[in-house]
Amino acid sequence: MNVLEELVVRGVLKDKSVGVEDFILKNKVNIYCGVDPTGDSLHVGHLVPIITLMRLKNVCVNNIYLLIGGATGMIGDPSFKSVERVFLEKSEIDRNVCCICDQVKSLFNMHNCDVNIVNNSEWYSKMNVIDFLREGKYMTVNYMSSKESVKRRISDGISFTEFSYQLLQAYDFYYLNSKFNVNVQLGGGDQWGNVTSGIDFIRKKNGNQVHGITTRLLVKSNGCKFGKTEGGCVWLDKKKTSPYEFFQFWVNIPDDEIIEVTKMFSLRDISSIDTDISNQVENKCRSVLQRELAKEMTSFIHGDSEMKKCLEISDVLFGSRDFECFRNIEDIIDNLKYIRNVHVSRSKLSECVSCYDFLCTACLNSFFESKSDISRSIASNSVFINKIKVRSREEAFNKDILNYDFILVQKGKKNYFIVFLE
């Protein structure tokens, strides 16, 4: 099974240019993938193309180029967007470029994979408007309008600014092909129109044969893009999404989605994944795939050390380990701040008589919506303090726990809250 056949088996490959298999397997391939700096961090949605680049590098790719769109980020890709993007200020885009550049370098270095980072503002900043418009002779308006990625916008109205994005991306491919002999473009599933525009642009301008492939966009069962939660994107930057939150994102993938997700993201051999799938399906071993993928992806992005800390936290919160074990793991205490929390003075809590008093004082509004919510939760036996069930509103509050640095509050099976003591 060659590398493209494996991408098909994994459900990664969406579109490919004619003859790309023979080209990749018989030639020295220089491949590029682009990302626009619309934020100061990459997110989970960027992982499929990044992992695909690394898979290809191990087999048939000579050089990887990661293009950060310092110029195209100021325009905005209209592909399959229902409304025009809001312009970002140049200062914000420049900052985002620096952040993503550092993030990409760190990630590829961590996995001993060479990457060349380029910024298309390097060449567009030297090109005047007349030079750019003269490049448009290689792409007709009819051709550009026929692309599915913009067709739906044309009927409602699309600005010339966004319409020109297709030409910008095509020229990017041409520039990289001319200067670095880049001959394959990798894009997301919504980029096929832009990718083929680049292939045709190069063929018309200099006659070179280049190719393109796209990865499939993963959509959750509820129709939302994979990598989005109620709280927004799942970021790769630990300051925006903590390692623990990142770990839990993978753990909480539904059973009806986890097989597809594992095949796409895991770096393990397909045979190893199939073994785990069989164990989960035949033996009804819940969350085997989720836990393994959470470990693998957290280690991939944040390293083994952070992954082990996340495991420790998860084992205490969701496993059978005693809470006292949790207190003694000093190297993971910092990770507690990644769980919803509040800081409360010991003196204030020392006045509490009952567990109900404690919950009202420490957790009202920040974890429980109201005093009625606290009462209902206690009555339904779903409230725990340091993993000990609160059995009634009148149950005495154990003030000995104020001698520690924090208190763990739980509501239901999965909702945890930390009260840090000051």
Q: By C-alpha distance, which of 231, 219, 290 is closest to 258? A: 290
- Pick the catalytic residue: 15, 190, 315, 373? 190
Kind of pairing between the strands at 406-411 and 415-421: antiparallel
The answer to whether the CB of 68 falls within 8 A of the CB of 118 is yes
- Pick the catalytic residue: 10, 14, 16, 46? 46
- Alpha carbons 220 and 255: distance in angstroms, whole number: 12
- Pick the catalytic residue: 15, 55, 81, 205? 81
- Alpha carbons 39 and 37: distance in angstroms, whole number: 5
- Pick the catalytic residue: 147, 220, 228, 327? 228
Element (DSSP H or E) covering residue 179:
helix 165-180
Is 228 in the active site?
A: yes
- Alpha carbons 34 and 342: distance in angstroms, whole number: 40
Q: By C-alpha distance, which of 163, 147, 140, 141 is closest to 84? A: 163
Is 225 in the active site?
A: yes
Q: Please give the structure tokens belonging to residue 258.
A: 């986890």
Instruction: Give the rounded distance of the alpha carbon of 52 from its chain centre.
Output: 14
- Pick the catalytic residue: 200, 205, 229, 268? 229
Q: What is the DSSP letter of 78?
A: -
- Pick the catalytic residue: 72, 103, 166, 169? 169
Q: Treating both helix axes as pointing N-terminal to C-terminal, what angle do 255-265 and 47-59 enclose, rounded to 10 degrees?
A: 40
Non-local CB neighbours of 234 within 8 Å, separated by 6+ positions:
43, 44, 227, 228, 241, 245, 246, 249
- 340 Ramachandran zone, left/alpha/beta (phi>0; psi -120 to 50): beta
Non-local CB neighbours of 83 within 8 Å, separated by 6+ positions:
none
Is 38 in the active site?
A: yes
- Pick the catalytic residue: 38, 216, 361, 373? 38
Is 81 in the active site?
A: yes
Q: Which DSSP string do the residues of 296-335 spell out, in sequence order? A: HHHHHHH-HHHHHHHHHHHHHHHSS--HHHHHT-GGGGGG
Is 229 in the active site?
A: yes
Is 169 in the active site?
A: yes
Is 111 in the active site?
A: no
- Pick the catalytic residue: 85, 220, 268, 321? 85
Is 85 in the active site?
A: yes
The answer to whether the CB of 159 falls within 8 A of the CB of 47 is no
- Alpha carbons 97 and 41: distance in angstroms, whole number: 9
Q: What is the DSSP letter of 364?
A: B
Query: Catalytic residue numbers?
Result: 38, 43, 46, 81, 85, 169, 190, 225, 228-229
